Amino acid sequence: MSNGTVIVTGASRGIGEAISRELAAAGFRLALVARSADRLAALAAELGPGGEVQAFPGDISDFEDVQRIVKEVHEKFGDIYGLVNNAGMTRDGLFMRMSPENWQAPIDINLGGTFYFTRAVAPIMMRARIGRIINISSVIGLTGNAGQANYAASKAGIIALTKSVAKELGSRGITANAVAPGFIATDMTADLPEKVQAVMLGQIPLKRFGEGKDVAGVVKFLLSQEASYITGQTLVVDGGMVM
Ligand code: NAP
């Protein structure tokens, strides 16, 4: 499988960039997706100077854009072995003050984007009778969190979507699993006040924040032959924060 094609969304930075680095080193052909075309092009040139890693800029919350990207990837690389739905965002705020717009944004991008990509890629995987879908959820989708009702709902939705897809597509040789990271040091968590970060660190038995490569290693495992009998699961990668 290591020369199969994998789409990684949210590849321009953070966890998605770490996943891309890990999978490129493992020999996968990669299609990198995010809105920042320049960052994506630079990463593709660095990881795949021979054209085996390519940038496909676009917005995952726009179904037409997603269909265009998947068509281009299919034309360029042929069958698509893996899909890593990693792109995501937060729009934090107290539930009692949350506007409908702020509720909708993470639902559209995190959950909608995951649905759109899975919907567009599934027919290609079904024809090939093999495929691996890996959706990046969050421990917040399991526990909920004050100030993140919208994000928590989007990430819980991703887990339910993953299980449903696993049940619908299993007979076609396709697995679907979720990965639920805890606190991973990226742009997404950099803005949290030091006090909040200290409290969170106190709740992590392994006494360190996660790094992108902690998540990337689990994604690589889920793409491997060793993981071929795992589907519908949510793997928590959080240093023991949630048990
Ligand atoms: P990040 O550093 O903020 O990166 C987010 C990525 O998603 C970027 O590449 C961004 O690229 C892309 N993206 C956002 N909206 C997009 C859109 N509409 N269309 C296309 N791409 C879009 O976040 P991260 O910390 O790496 O998080 C990655 C994933 O892990 C997210 O799903 C997040 O919810 C999840 N997660 C993170 C943590 C954590 O502690 N960091 C914990 C649990 C779960 P552009 O801006 O270039 O479009």
* Distance between CA atoms of residues 123 and 199, nearest Å: 45
Q: Measure 87 CA to ligand 1 centroid, in angstroms.
A: 4
Q: pTM here? A: 0.98
Q: Measure 14 CA to ligand 1 centroid, in angstroms.
A: 7
Q: Which residues pair with 206 in a beta bridge?
A: none
Instruction: Please say if the pLDDT value at position 82 is more than 70.
Output: yes
Instruction: Assign 187 a pLDDT band (cuts: 50, 70, 90).
Output: very high
Q: Give 117's contacts (C-beta < 8 A, 6+ positions apart).
A: 7, 9, 60, 66, 70, 83, 85
Burial of residue 52, with CB atoms counted within 10 A of its CB: 0-12 exposed, 13-18 middle, 19 or more buried: middle
The reply to whether 116 belongs to the active site is no
Ligand 1 contacts CB of residue 105 (under 6 A):
no
* Distance between CA atoms of residues 112 and 206, nearest Å: 33
Write out the H or E segment, with its range, that includes residue 142.
helix 140-143
Ligand 1 contacts CB of residue 30 (under 6 A):
no
Instruction: Please say if the pLDDT value at position 14 is more than 70.
Output: yes
Question: How far, rounded to the nearest angstrom, does the alpha carbon of residue 242 sit from its chain's CA centroid?
Answer: 20
Tell me what pLDDT residue 3 has: 75
81, 116, 151, 229: the active-site residue: 151
Q: Measure 186 CA to ligand 1 centroid, in angstroms.
A: 9
Burial of residue 97, with CB atoms counted within 10 A of its CB: 0-12 exposed, 13-18 middle, 19 or more buried: exposed
Which fold would CATH assign to domain 5-237? Rossmann fold (3.40.50)
* Distance between CA atoms of residues 162 and 183, nearest Å: 21
- SS percent in the chain: helix, strand, coil, step 5: 50, 15, 35
* Distance between CA atoms of residues 23 and 219, nearest Å: 9
**Residue whose CA is closest, atom 34 of ligand 1?**
88
Tell me what pLDDT residue 2 has: 63
Sign of CA dihedral 217, 222, 224, 226: positive
What does the domain layout of the chain look like in residue ranges?
A: 5-237
Instruction: Assign 191 a pLDDT band (cuts: 50, 70, 90).
Output: confident
**Residue whose CA is closest, atom 2 of ligand 1?**
14
Q: What pLDDT digit, counting tens, does each position of 204-219 carry?
A: 999 999 999 999 999 9
Ligand 1 contacts CB of residue 14 (under 6 A):
yes
The atom number, within ligand 1, closest to the CA of 9 reads 21
Instruction: Please say if the pLDDT value at position 56 is more than 90.
Output: yes
